[in-house]
Amino acid sequence: MTLIGQLEESQASLRLLITLYDINRPLIQSELTSEMKKRYNLGKYTVDTAVKTCIELGLINRENKRMGNNPMPSLFHTLTSKGKKIAEKALEMDNVLSQKIS
């Protein structure tokens, strides 16, 4: 299977990249799941599958970091440079699809 086929097979991967691109800051897992639910009405399993696919393809990074005084680290998700390029292309495609054909 091609890499674009792998990306396409995971239903929410492009929407995940667009979300991270739009928000433009690292998101912890719960924020990412909540944002995907709000924007696209997607559940946790779908988001988790998209995250896994995007990590495998090198489109997002996931890093454990501590927040404030919380002793438990949180998983932060950010776009890689390749992920940012793919998100920009996905937004371009969305804009073309939104245009009325004369």
Q: Is the pLDDT of residue 61 over 90?
A: yes
Gap between the Cα atoms of 97 and 23, Å rounded: 22
* φ, ψ dihedrals at 24, nearest 5°: 60, 40
**pLDDT at site 3:** 82
Mean pLDDT taken over the chain: 90
Gap between the Cα atoms of 7 and 15, Å rounded: 11
Q: Is the pLDDT of residue 54 over 90?
A: yes
Q: pTM, whole model, 2 decimals?
A: 0.87
Q: How many CB atoms lie within 10 A of CB 6?
A: 13
In order of start, what are the domains of the chain with their CATH numbers? 3-95 (1.10.10.10)
Beta bridge partners of 27: 77
Q: Is the pLDDT of residue 14 over 80?
A: yes
Q: Is the pLDDT of residue 71 over 80?
A: no
**pLDDT at site 60:** 97
Q: Is the pLDDT of residue 102 over 70?
A: no
Angle between helices 81-98 and 13-23 (to 10 degrees): 100
8 A C-beta contact, residue 81 and residue 59: no
